[in-house]
Amino acid sequence: MKIASWNINSIKARLPNVLKWLQYAQPEVLLLQELKGTNENFPITEIENLGYNCAINGQKAYNGVAILSKYPMDEISIGLPNNEDDEQARYIEARVNINNNTGMRIASIYVPNGNPVDTEKFSYKNDWLDYLIEHSKTLLTNEEIVVLGGDYNVIPSDEDCYDPVAWQNDALARPESRSRFRTLINLGYTEAWRSLHNQTHVYSFWDYQAGAWQKDNGVRIDHLLLSPQAADKLTACEIDKGPRGQVKASDHTPVWCELII
């Protein structure tokens, strides 16, 4: 079973690229972030025509997350349940029902960027991650297959960044962000890509500015975190750079993993 995550930086602008990749890669589940559109404007018909069910948490012009699944979904939760006052569309969770006996809980996550760090945006990011940590801890108590995928806006280590010095004061690389990401891992989650790869300077995001893509000046901020029950079934995890090189590409590219269910 292939599960992928992709910050598409506007579903309206990137729809042809998304449809093309779905047809090519054939993931059973695709987690989308940064839809930049409302639920009403989401291209449900086009997605359903490819055999996917849609769970959407949209927001006009900003944020927005979705889960696309070839299997039925229920128990859909909009927003972090322990952070109900948050008005930003950054979290959606659902149970994906593979058959009568097997299912998994999957979330699409768009962590706040947090910049500039000397503003309330950084405090909001840290608080949001704290809420995510607490909810992720609760999910583990059910001993289910859990996949928490998305744009975490955290560079886990200097080896996941093309220029650590240039990024050292950025919210994505600050110790406060990294420590919270490590806390998530230390709860018992496995970061799928890093668990299977020891390569350094492999990226999932390249800015549109200063020829970052052409120079491979990127960072790795898109992650799939697996509960122990999911990690036991992990067989592969890769970053597909192909979509980043397309016309009108998102500045992120898909990250996917395979589980033997």
pLDDT, one tens digit per residue, over 66-120 is: 999 999 999 999 999 999 999 999 999 999 999 888 899 999 999 999 999 999 9
Report DSSP state, residue 161: B
**pLDDT at position 101:** 82
**pLDDT at position 186:** 98
CA 2 to the chain's CA centroid? 14
**pLDDT at position 102:** 87
Count of CA atoms in the C-beta half-sphere (13 A) of 232: 9
Hey, what's the torsion of the CAs at 116, 167, 59, 118, to 10 degrees? Answer: -10
Assign a CATH topology to domain 2-259. Answer: Deoxyribonuclease I; Chain A (3.60.10)
User: Can you read off the two tokens belonging to residue 135?
Assistant: 């909810």
- d(CA 176, CA 37) in angstroms, rounded, equals 30
Q: Which residues pair with 193 in a beta bridge?
A: none
Rounded mean pLDDT for each run of 10 residues along the chain, 261 residues in total: 98 98 98 98 98 98 97 97 95 94 94 98 98 98 96 98 97 98 98 97 97 98 98 98 97 98 89
Which residues lie closer than 8 Å to 199 by C-beta, 6 or more apart?
Answer: none
With contact defined as beta carbons under 8 Å apart, do 48 and 54 qualify?
A: yes
- d(CA 252, CA 45) in angstroms, rounded, equals 24
Count of CA atoms in the C-beta half-sphere (13 A) of 192: 31
Q: Which of 68, 67, 74, 157 is nearest to 108 (CA)?
A: 67
User: Can you read off the two tokens belonging to residue 136?
Assistant: 């992720």
With contact defined as beta carbons under 8 Å apart, do 243 and 21 qualify?
A: yes
Q: Which of 14, 217, 221 is nearest to 114 (CA)?
A: 221
**pLDDT at position 90:** 98
